[in-house]
Each structure stands twice: as C-alpha cells, then as structure tokens.
Amino acid sequence: MIGELYAIEADIRGKPPDERRHVRQEKSSPLLAALEKSMKEKLATLWPKAPLVEAINYSLNRWDGLTLFCDDGRIEISNVLAENALRCVALGRRNYMFAGSDSGGERAAAMYSLIGSCKLNGINPRFYLEYMHTHIADHQANRIDELLPWNIPRHLLRSTPALL
C-alpha cells in the first residue's frame, strides 16, 4: 500500500498544488483509509507487548500528521527532500563543531537555510547573496521578507549556472 502511495506521488510530481490535492483525495485517501483499517485489525490480533504493536500505535497516534499531505497539495508525502538538502550539513558536522561560538553556529545555520532555500526555489545561491547584500542596506527593516529567496527578481532563477 505504501508503494502505491509513492507511485501516485511519482505521477503527480511537479503538478500544481490544486491538482495534486485532487488526485490525492481521489486516489491516496482511500488507500490510507484501507491502511488504517488494516493496522487497526492487525492490532486487535496481536499480543499487547509485541514490537509490532508499538510500531502500529506510533503510526496511529500520528495519523493526522501522516495523512496531512492529502489535504494540501503543497506538502510532500515525506520529508526526504528536506533530509537530502541537509545531507551536506551532516557530512561536514565535524568541521562545523568549531564555529567559534554559539552565535557563530547560529549564523552558519542561517546561511545554510538561505542557501538551501535558494536551491529549493531554483535560484543560484551566489547571485541571490550578491543581490541581497547589495540591496539590504537600503531596504526597510519591516519589509525584510521581500529579500527572501522566493521574493527576488526573476533574473536570479536557475537560468544562471549554480556556482555554490
């Protein structure tokens, strides 16, 4: 059943959120209802201290969160994209241990977030950072969200080669 859910996701990848939501409501929701029913039926037949009971209860206790993607076409079925985006952080963890201070670590985390957001939004991180640094000094502080990666001018989109 889980494989079928991922097959549905593969078919709708890159589609507009409304279309993804519609397909999920039509195809994924019935599969999820069947999966939930199957888990509850299995739960009734198992010894209460069996490891599988713990796994099923874990899923059932988080069911609303697990099925949220069906109600919102912007949400992915899993967080694998976020995990992949953070892989470079995990690989270099030993190098980052010596950021110098807590505030240095927080600044590094902010930079990783900005660069990761650029990549997820199809924006060249180097050109984004250059643009942001040349415009931030003259920008009103209460409108700083206008300088976030998804709000920048179109000329910074992926049409330029990624240099970072």
User: Which of 46-50, 105-109, 112-116 has the largest mean confidence?
Assistant: 46-50
Please, are residues 7 and 31 in contact by the beta-carbon 8 Å criterion?
no
Please, are residues 70 and 31 in contact by the beta-carbon 8 Å criterion?
no
- pLDDT exceeds 50 at position 160: no
Please, are residues 55 and 48 in contact by the beta-carbon 8 Å criterion?
no
Structural domain count, the chain: 2
Beta-carbon count within 10 A of 24 CB:
24
- pTM strictly above 0.75: no
pLDDT of residue 37: 97
Q: Please classify residue 1 by burial: count the beta carbons closer than 10 Å to its beta carbon, then call 0-12 exposed, 13-18 middle and 19+ buried.
A: exposed
Residue finishing a domain among 13, 41, 71: 71
Whether 146 and 85 map to the same domain: the answer is yes
Whether 38 and 92 map to the same domain: the answer is no
Least confident of 24-38, 68-82, 84-98, 122-136: 84-98
- pLDDT exceeds 90 at position 121: no
- Look up the domain containing 23 and give its range: 2-71
